[in-house]
Amino acid sequence: MKAFMKEFKEFAMRGNVMDMAVGVVIGGAFGAIITALVDNIITPIIGAVMGGVNFSKLAITVGKATIGYGAFIQAVIDFLIVAFCIFCMIKAMNKATNMKKQEEEAPEEPTTKECPFCKTEIAIGATRCPNCTSVLELNADIDLEKPEA
Ligand SMILES: [Zn+2]
C-alpha cells in the first residue's frame, strides 16, 4: 500500500498531469462560455433568421418513432462553433508565440569581430588576425562583443 501511494504521488506530481488538470479545468470553463454563447446568442439569431425555428425541437414522427434530427443539427452547430472558437484561439496563440520567438531571435549573435590592429573584419573565434597576423588576446573577444559604437 505504501508503494502504491508513493507511485500515485509520483504520478500526480508529474508536470504533465498538472498541465492536463489545468487544461481540463480551463476547458470546462471555456465550454460553459461556449454553451452560454450558443444557447443565448447564436441559436436565437439563427432561429430569428430562419423564422423562429428552434432546431432542438425539430423532429419527424415516423409511425411510433420520433426522429429528433433538430437536436442533432443543434449538436453539429455547437461543435462547429466550438471548433471555430478553438481554431481562432490557437491561431492567436501561435501568432503571439511566433512574435515572441522573433523578438528573442532578433539580437543576432555576432559572427565577426574587428581586428584591433588593422581594423578588418575577422572571425569571432580567431586568435590571430589573418590579415595582419597580429596575435589577438582572448579577452579582446569580450571587448568586441558589444556592437561597434
Ligand atoms: Zn588584423
CA–centroid distance, residue 146 to ligand 1 (Å):
18
Give residue-wise pLDDT tens across range 110-141. 788 888 889 999 888 888 889 898 888 765 44
Q: What's residue 146's pLDDT?
A: 52
CA–centroid distance, residue 140 to ligand 1 (Å):
12
Distance between CA atoms of 58 and 52, rounded to whole angstroms?
A: 12
CA–centroid distance, residue 112 to ligand 1 (Å):
12
pTM exceeds 0.85 for this model: no
CA–centroid distance, residue 108 to ligand 1 (Å):
24
Q: What are the cell numbers at 38?
A: 450558443
CA–centroid distance, residue 143 to ligand 1 (Å):
16
Q: How many CB atoms lie within 10 A of CB 122?
A: 18
Q: What's residue 65's pLDDT?
A: 83
Q: What's residue 140's pLDDT?
A: 46
Distance between CA atoms of 67 and 132, rounded to whole angstroms?
A: 90
Positions in the chain short of pLDDT 50? 140-141
Q: How many CB atoms lie within 10 A of CB 70?
A: 16
CA–centroid distance, residue 118 to ligand 1 (Å):
4
CA–centroid distance, residue 113 to ligand 1 (Å):
10
CA–centroid distance, residue 120 to ligand 1 (Å):
6
